[in-house]
Structure 1
Amino acid sequence: MKDRARRMTMPPPLPTAGLHLGVVLLLALPLASTVTPIASAQSDSAPATAPAPLRYAEAVEEARTLVQADIAKRDYPGIAIAVSVDGETVWSEGFGYANLEHRVPMLPSVKFRVGSISKSMTAAAAAKLFEEGRLDVDAPIQRYVPSFPEKAHPITTRQLGGHLGGIRHYEGDENFIRDPYPTVLDGLAIFADDPLLHEPGSKYTYTSHGFNLISAVVEGAAEQPFLDTMRESVFRPLGMRDTVADFVTPIIPGRTSYYVRDAEGHVVNAPFVNNSYKWAGGGFLSTTEDVLRFANAHLDDEFLSEASHKLLFTEQRTREGEGVGYGFGWFIRTREDGRRLLSHSGGSVGGTSLMVMEPDARVVVVGLINLTRADNGVVTEVLDLFIDAVAAAR
C-alpha cells in the first residue's frame, strides 16, 4: 500500500497556534511532494481516471467533517482513522490527542491497544500453520497443548476460533489483571481448571480466554513461542513494523496514553493493567496503518491460501445448524443492502477499536480510539462514505 494522505487534525482549543502550524506544515510536505508530480505529468498523457487519493478527495473531506463532529460530540481524547481502496491508502489522519496532559497530538503513527483485533491477527497465524499442514484445526487441542486438562467433551481449534468451544470469558476483575504472566501457558492457569459452559459446538459464547488457548495451540504446532510465530508469520511478512505485544515496562515509542470515564463521565487516566495473560485474546498494540495492511492482506490470496480464506471467512454454525455470525477470528455480517462485511472490534482498558472491510468494494476502514468503551459508530459511517465513493468512481 502507498501512504499518500497522512494528516493530523487537532480539535479546538489548540495548545498554541505555533504548534498547530508547525505540525501541519511538517505533515503537509510529503503530501505536497506526492501530489505535485501527478499534476505536472498530466499535460502529455493524462490518465483515464485520477489517482486514488485525488479521486476520493471529496469523500475524504466528508469523512474528516464526520470525525471532527464526532470527537467534539462524544468528547473522547483522540482517534486515528485510516481508509484504503483496492489496497491503497487514500486517507490516514489523527484527531485530538495521544496524551491530554502534555497535549501530544494524535498521529497515524500512534500505537493503540487494539483489543480483540488481536484475535484476527492470531487467526492469521493459525491459518498459516493450517495451510502448511502443521495444524489440524479439527483435532482435539491436547494434540498441541497436552498440559491443558481434558474436559467432559473434546475441544477443537476450529471451535475455539468460532467461540463454540465452551470456554468461559472474563469473570470478575480479570480484565484488570496487574500481575505478569511470563508465558502463554502461565496465562491458561486463569481458566484451565474451570468446567466448560456447554458442550463444544452446541452454542456460541464469545470468549477471549478461548483465543488465549489458541495461542498455546499455535505454540505447540509451531514448536516455538507464540510471539515469535506472530512476528515471523504475520507481522514481518506484512510489514507491520509498529505492531507489538503490550509489554508494560519497556519504552515503546509512539504508545498512546490510555483513558477511561469516571462515574461522572469525566475522562481520566486508565488504571494500570498487565495484558501478558492474553496476547491472543486482546494484548497487541498497533497503528491504524498497520491494521490496514493486515486487513488488506486478506483481500487476495498472496498472504493466505484459498483454503485459509475459507477457514477464516466461512460462518460457523452450531450443531443444530444455527449461524453464529463469526468465522475464525472474524465477525461476518450481511447487511440489509446485501453487502457482506468482515470485521472485528476491540475493547481494552484505555482503548476502543474497529477494523471493517467490504470485500466486493475492496474498501477497508480502521478506527482506533484511546478511551475505554468509546462509541465507534463513526468508523462504519466512514466505510459507507467510501463504499458510495467507490461505486461512483467505477
Structure 2
Amino acid sequence: MIRKCFLCEESTEKVFSTTWVLPGLLPTEIGFSICPKCGSVCQSPSVDFDDMMAFYSSIAVYTNPGRQELPSTAKIRDLDEQIQFIKRGIGNLPNSVLQIGSSDGYTLSRFRDAGIARVLGVEPGAASVSLAKRLYQVNCIHGSAETFETNENFELILMTHVLEHLYNPQTTLSKCYRMQQKVTEGFIYIEVPLMAKASSLCPGFFSFEHINYYTRDNLLKSLTDVGYSPVSVLEHFNSNLSPVIGILASTKVQHHYSEYQSCYVDNKQILLEYRQKEISYWQGCLDALLPNLSKSQRVFLWGAGIHTSQLVTNTNLLEIVKINGLTDTSPLKWGINQGDWLCQSPKDINWKIGDYVIISSYASEKEIFIALSWLRDIGVVTLCLHNRDI
C-alpha cells in the first residue's frame, strides 16, 4: 500500500524499503518515505489498514509475562510525570478523561487514583480490553481510534503513543476536537516517539507498527491544523528507549508558537543516516553471536514479532544459520506463521542439551533472559542479541 503524507496529503518520495517477514502476514515490502512539501516522514509502502488491525487484534501484545502483568518501573515513572505535567498545564486535573489506545488500563487507573472521577478507554486489542477490566476495573470500548463512538463529553483526552500508529491521524485529531466542543475548555495530551537526530534513535525506531513520524514542529502543526492550541511541551532523549515528545493543547485559541517550516532536507538526511546505522547495528549484533552459534546443535528464535522480523531483514542470518524453530510465551502467537516458521509454545518443544535460543527483543531483552532461567537449568543456551544491561 502506497500512502500519502499523513499531514498534508501530498504524494511522498520513497527513501528506502525492504521485505519484512511479519507474524501472521505474508512477506511484505515495508518502506519509509518523505513528503517533499512539508518534510514529514511516514511508512510507505505499508500493509493495508485491515491487515494492521488484524495484527493488533490477534497478535500484538504490550504486557510482558516476565513482569507478571505489572507495569515497568519506567512506565510508573512516566505516569508520575504525565499526571503532574497535565495538572500544571491546566492548573488542576479535570473531572473526566478518555484515553484512545488505552492498552492494559494502567494509565487510566493512575489518573483515576489521582482524582479523576470518570475514565474510559478505547482499545483495538481484545486481550488488552480484558486485561484492563481484570487488572484495574477500567472499562474500554473495544474499537479503533478511527471507528469508536461515544456520546459522552470529556474534558481531557489522552493519546500516548497512538498517533504514530494511525493511517489518518488528522482525522482522529479532528474527531477529538469536535468531541470537546460541548465542554467549557477541552484539553488533549499527545505523546509520541520523537524523530530526532539519527544518533539519538534506538534500533528499530523505524518500525512496522509506527507508520507516522513526528518532529517537534510537525506535531505542533498537526494539532493547530485541527483547531487545538498547544500550551506546554516536554521532550526527553535519554530516559526511554527512544526520544519522546509530549504536548498538552487546549481547545481555546492561544498564540505561543511560530508557524511551521518544512524540514524536508534535514528529515531526509536523518532517514539516510539512520538506515546505514540500522544495518550496521543488527549485523554487528549477529556477528558477535556467531562464535557461540557455531557450537549449537539446534537454534531457535525467541519472540514472534517485529524484532525477529528486523533481525531477519537487516542481517544475513538465514544464509549462515539454520533456524530450527520459533517460540514465544504469548498464547496469541502460537500456531501463527512468521515466514517459514510456525510459532510454538515453549512447553511444546522437546528441548535438548546443546540447543541455543536467540532472544531477538530489544525492549524486553533483560526481562526475557531472566524469565528463561528454566531453559538454562536444562542445558539450553540463551543468547541476548543486543546485550542490554544483562
| TM-score bin (small chain) | under 0.3
Q: Select the structure with the greater relative contact order (CA < 8 A; seq sep ≥ 6).
A: 1
Output the TM-score relative to the length of structure 1: 0.26
TM-score of the aligned structures, taking structure 2 as reference length: 0.26
Query: Relative to total residues, which structure has the larger strand share, 1 or 2?
Result: 2
